[in-house]
Amino acid sequence: MSFQTAQEAFWAGDFGTDYIQRNQGDALLASNLDFFGKALRQARGIQSCIEFGANIGMNLKALKLLHPGIDAHAIEINAEAAKQLGTVIPPDHVHNSSILNFTPARRWDLSLIKGVLIHINPEVLPQVYDKLVAATGRYLMVAEYYNPAPVAIPYRGHTDRLFKRDFAGEIMDRHPALQLVDYGFAYRRDPNFPQDDITWFLMERR
């Protein structure tokens, strides 16, 4: 697999594999059920979805419980994570690829990216935005760390691996056919269903 950026190689390698162990389990699934139950409360008729950067499928597990029978697809750059993801959704629905090398062949009712845009090289974000929108049949959900202005933050001892900005705002500016439907925040200190200080935005293609 060839990469355009250092960030892709970082997540495809050992760091991405180690991430698997830190992000799984019943407590995370419960938090994700609560998260998506709230974040998708304004969405209607979701029968298919694609997640960009799905890791081992903890988000898709929650979506499958909330929307039984959903036709779920995913893109995942790390080979070990993609292998485990193939036990959550059909293996032929898993694209073991960089997002930058993925070209949507269809549209899904829901396109989802959660905690992934923050790790992508800012120079290629416009390409990723375009791919997200190209895959969106009706709804696009972006759930990331928010900041009104772009900023880079040290991440587990690494530089240039974590970026915060107004991802959803940039997407809507670039693609005016998308309109904001709902948004919210999930706090890491929530006593019942914590998330990692995620700000989410649900957009709809009009």
Q: What is the pLDDT of residue 11?
A: 80
Q: Report the pLDDT value the prediction gives residue 23, as an integer from 0 to 100.
A: 67
Mean pLDDT of the chain: 94
Cα Rg, the chain, nearest whole Å:
16
- Sign for the pseudo-dihedral over CA of 46, 48, 52, 55: positive
Domain-embedded: residue 1: no
Q: Is residue 20 over pLDDT 70?
A: yes
pLDDT digits (tens, 9 = 90+) for 54-87: 999 999 999 999 999 999 999 999 999 999 999 9
Query: For position 170, which CATH number holds?
Result: 3.40.50.150
Looking at the predicted structure, is the pLDDT value of residue 137 above 90? Answer: yes
* Range among 23-27, 126-130, 158-162 rated most confident: 126-130
Nearest to 200 by CA among 149, 153, 143, 146: 143
* 107 inside domain: yes
Question: Domains in the chain: how many in total?
Answer: 1
Distance of CA 204 to the CA centre of its chain: 16
Which residues form the domain of 178?
Answer: 6-205
- Whether 134 maps to a domain, the answer reads yes
- Residue-wise pLDDT tens digits, 173-201: 999 999 999 999 999 999 999 999 999 99
pTM attached to this predicted model:
0.94
